A and B are shown apart, each in its own frame.
Chain A
Amino acid sequence: DTAVSQTPKYLVTQMGNDKSIKCEQNLGHDTMYWYKQDSKKFLKIMFSYNNKELIINETVPNRFSPKSPDKAHLNLHINSLELGDSAVYFCASSPKDRGGGYTFGSGTRLTVV
């Protein structure tokens, strides 16, 4: 199936831990994104990569570090997790053609306890 896939789907961890979320797309898209959806369901962009190059870095704590080993993968590493990091994190991708739409992964629900 052509898709954007994220792992894990659920992640429960203690404060202070370091964790990673992985994302892969097999759509041949050039641009990948990380979005955060908070408890109020608002969706905000965190990062955007175009062909492995960081192009958007919103005001996100530097505890969050994206890594793109190739244009089909965009991972998110979070250091020193805090309670406020609890949210659903969505990966998405879009084609190089700016007229192309977004395809989203199913999300990773992160709970920091």
Chain B
Amino acid sequence: KQEVTQIPAALSVPEGENLVLNCSFTDSAIYNLQWFRQDPGKGLTSLLLIQSSQREQTSGRLNASLDKSSGRSTLYIAASQPGDSATYLCAVPNTNAGKSTFGDGTTLTVKP
């Protein structure tokens, strides 16, 4: 059974700081890994999708890496801004069709 862990559960940083969010998974037989952002009271917005054959994906100030062998992914946020404050979740589709396991999220607060 796939288990996904995100550390830390909460993170508070001053504006402008670079930061790393971590996601660990127990079963390395994955198709891809997806990072989402969730603002309070809102739905999930997809940030980055890394295929199992890829090592990283970049979008603007975000960079996600994937190391299947060690069961880890990181989300790097450069030059953080108050607007980055949200909960960040990683999701890993299981090899069984039609199921994805989510981490419990990291709640990020960027202080002006």
Contacts and interface: CB of A to CB of B under 8 A. Distances in A.
Interface of A: 31, 33, 35, 41-45, 48-50, 55-56, 90, 92, 94, 98-107, 109
B1 to A, nearest CB: 12
B43 A101 contact: no
- Chain A's interface: helix, strand, loop or mixed, by majority? strand
Interface size band for B: 20 to 34
- Chain B's interface: helix, strand, loop or mixed, by majority? strand
Nearest to A58: B99
A35 B89 CA distance: 14
22 contacts: A31-B97, A35-B102, A41-B87, A41-B104, A44-B102, A45-B100, A45-B101, A48-B98, A48-B99, A55-B97, A55-B98, A56-B99, A99-B31, A99-B52, A101-B34, A102-B34, A102-B100, A104-B36, A104-B43, A106-B42, A107-B42, A107-B43
B51 to A, nearest CB: 5
Contacts of B43: 90, 104-107
B71 interface: no
A98 B46 contact: no
B32 interface: yes
Contacts of A35: 102
A55 B38 CA distance: 27
